[in-house]
Each structure stands twice: as C-alpha cells, then as structure tokens.
C-alpha cells in the first residue's frame, strides 16, 4: 500500500512538472476576462469582386449587401461536404466562423430589368504572433541597434528587462519605446539579460513569454 502511495505521488509530481513546462513555453492558455469582441464590416457588393477577408478568432464579421434595387438575398455556407447550405435571406449577415460563403442577390432595376449576381466569400482567421529576438548589437551602425519583440495581432502588451539580479532596467507598453542597451543614460555591458513579456492577443487570449537575451558590444 505504501509503495502504491509513493508511486501515485511521483506520478502526480511528474504531471505537475509537465504542466508547468507547458505553461512556461505555451501560448494562448487563458482567456482575458476583459475581452470585448469586435465586428469587422465588409461591404460585399462594393466592387463586384469575390471577397477574401481575415478576422481574428472569437470576433465577428458583418457581411453587408444592402442595395435598394435588390429584392432577394440568399446567403449560403459551404459545409464539410462542400455543399451549399442556405443560412439567411437578410441583407446583412453576421458570422463568427471561418469558411466559404456565397451570396446570391437578385436585382430589379427599372428600364433594365431583373438579373442576379453571385459573390464568393472566403473568411479565415488573421494570424497572431509574438517573436522575440535572441540578441542585439547596439553599436549605432543602423543594424540591430535596438531590441524589441515583434507583435502581430496583439492589442496590448507589457515588456520588462532585468539583470540576472532581477534589477529592472527597462519597461515598455509601446512599440515606440524600445530597448537601446542603455540604463539611466549609461551603456550597459555585454552579457545576458532577462526579459518578460505579457499581453493580450486580438483573439482575447492572454500570453506570457520569458527568457534570456544577449547584449553584444
């Protein structure tokens, strides 16, 4: 019985260790309680061309097709079998799913007559990403002189850099405020520094990253 208990404890500790590793290196593990979805308007008939549009996961797209000369709207979505399914007959369609959509609109214009038009719409999720440079060389030659993460699809963030003794030497919440390798007007020596990055993607997921950057002179 005691041996079984010890084995269970070891398994439990090992599982917790794996969870910590996943939380340390993974992304998009938690959802922000302050997240407010946005709606992207797309005017489907503005140029009579097919639509290719990205939007962020957990948000919405409003497909707008109103025209006073249109008397019939038919919106379709292609299912997993590539079959058209009628989903709406309104002039505006709001969706939250990726996929292929189709609008068939029937016009009735005096002196011209009746005719219809078809627009194909592809909706997909915009990418989200945080890339962190591993090093930089602040030698003022115009190349790699500053250090800062590269954000795509991020709504807000916080960046902190500290020494190995946990003394904070840089903080930023703006891409206009980057790390130059200086602190209080003095050049910092070559070496390893610790970074911490947190923020929220436009999908509503929060992220955290931490690691080591090298300052090379």
Measured between alpha carbons, how far is 113 from 206 in angstroms, rounded to an integer?
Answer: 54
pTM for the model stands at: 0.81
Q: Report the chain's C-alpha Rg in angstroms.
A: 26
Give the tens place of pLDDT for each residue, 144-158: 899 999 999 999 999
| Residue, of 210 and 14, whose pLDDT is higher | 210
Q: Which domains does the chain have, with CATH numbers?
A: 39-125 (2.60.40.10), 128-215 (2.60.40)
Give the tens place of pLDDT for each residue, 75-113: 999 998 899 999 999 999 999 999 999 999 999 999 899
Question: Which of 53-72 are b and which e, b meaning 16 or more Cβ less than 10 Å from the residue's Cβ?
Answer: eebbbbbebebbbeeeebee
Judging by beta carbons within 10 Å of its beta carbon (0-12, 13-18, 19+), is residue 147 exposed, middle or buried?
Answer: buried
Give the tens place of pLDDT for each residue, 18-46: 332 223 344 446 999 999 999 999 999 98
């Amino acid at each position: 019985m005691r041996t079984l208990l010890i084995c269970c404890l070891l398994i439990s500790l090992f599982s917790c260790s794996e969870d910590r590793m996943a939380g340390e290196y993974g992304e998009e593990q938690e959802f922000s309680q302050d997240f407010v979805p946005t709606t992207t308007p797309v005017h489907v008939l503005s140029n009579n061309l097919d639509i290719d549009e990205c939007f962020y996961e957990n948000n919405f797209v409003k497909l707008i097709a109103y025209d006073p000369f249109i008397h019939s709207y038919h919106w379709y979505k292609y299912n997993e079998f590539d079959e058209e399914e009628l989903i709406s007959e309104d002039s505006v369609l709001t969706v939250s799913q990726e996929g292929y959509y189709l609008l068939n609109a029937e016009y009735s214009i005096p002196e011209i007559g009746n005719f219809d038009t078809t627009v194909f719409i592809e909706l997909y999720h915009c990418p989200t990403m945080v890339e962190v440079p591993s090093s930089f060389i602040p030698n003022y030659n115009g190349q790699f002189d500053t250090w800062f993460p590269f954000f795509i699809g991020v709504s807000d963030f916080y960046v902190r850099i500290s020494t190995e003794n946990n003394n904070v030497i840089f903080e930023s919440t703006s891409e206009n405020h980057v790390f130059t390798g200086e602190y209080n007007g003095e050049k910092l020596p070559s070496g390893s520094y610790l970074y911490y990055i947190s923020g929220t993607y436009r999908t509503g997921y929060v992220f955290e990253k931490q690691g080591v950057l090298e300052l090379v002179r």
